[in-house]
Amino acid sequence: MPVTYQIDGVNRIIHTTCSGPITVHDVIDHFRALEQDPSVPDRVDVLLEVRKGTSVPQSDDLRRTISAFGAHVLEMTPAEHDHTLAFTSHLPQLLSTALAAALAQERDNRLSQVFGTGLLDMTRLALSSPELWRSILLTNKNEVELAIDSLVKVLLGLRADLGEREMANTFELATKFALSLRQPAPDRNT
C-alpha cells in the first residue's frame, strides 16, 4: 500500500508515510481509513511524509483533497520540516521527559502527592515510548540539539531574572505565543 499510517495517541499525531507512486484516490482512501479508525483521537495532526522517489499528485490536487477532509495544509521543505518539528514536537517531548525525570530523581514522595493539573499536563508526553523517540531523535539530532540550546538559553535567562522585572518580558513573549497556538490553524501567524 503506498500510503500507511501510525497513530501516536499520546502526542495526538498521525504519521502518514507515502512510498511509491500515489494518486489522489490513494490520499482519499487514506483519509477515509482515518475517519473509520476508532483508535484515531478526535483532534489530531496528520504529518505527511513523502519518501524520496515517491511520485505524488500535483500539489493543487493534493491540497484540495486534503482540505476537503477538513485538514489544514502546510507545505515545507524537508529541512524546514526537521527544524520545525525539532522545536514543536521533539523539544516538548524532551522537556516533559526531563521534568518527570528531574522530579523522580528528587526521591521525595511528596512530589507525587502534592501537585496541580499543570504538572499532569507537563508530564503527559513523558509517557511516550522511548523506542519510538530514540529513532525520531537520532534522525533529527542536529536540529534537536539547536532546539535544546534555545530552551537552555531561555531557562538560564529566567534563572538570572528570578523575581526581577525583566522576567516579565519572557512571560509576555510566552503568553503571546501560547495564545497564537490556540487560534484556528489558518489564522496562526507566529
DSSP string, 146-168: HHHHHHHHHHHHHHHTTTSTTHH
Backbone angles phi, psi at 28, to 5 degrees: -60, -45
- Residue 57 pLDDT more than 70? no
Model-wide pTM > 0.85: no
For residues 170 and 54, the model is more confident at 170
Q: Is the pLDDT of residue 70 over 70?
A: no
128: closest CA among 7, 6, 11? 11
Pair 49, 30: CB distance under 8 Å: no
How much of the chain, in percent, has pLDDT values that exceed 90? 46
Q: What is the pLDDT of residue 190?
A: 46
Q: Decide if pLDDT at 173 tops 80.
A: yes
Question: What average pLDDT does the segment 70-90 reach?
Answer: 82
**8 Å CB contact between 26 and 54:** no
Residue 50: is its pLDDT beyond 70?
no
Q: Domain ranges in the chain?
A: 3-68, 78-161
Homologous superfamily of 78-161: 6-phosphogluconate dehydrogenase C-terminal like domain (1.10.3660.10)
Query: What pLDDT was estimated at residue 181?
Result: 86
**Quick one: which of 63, 74, 79 has its CA closest to 27?**
63
Q: How large is the average pLDDT for residues 90-117?
A: 95
Mean pLDDT rounded to a whole number for the chain: 83
Average pLDDT over residues 130-150: 94
Question: Quick one: what percent of the chain has pLDDT higher than 70?
Answer: 77
Q: What is the pLDDT at residue 73?
A: 66
Does residue 49 register a pLDDT over 70? Answer: no
Cα within 13 Å of Cα(187), Cβ side: 7
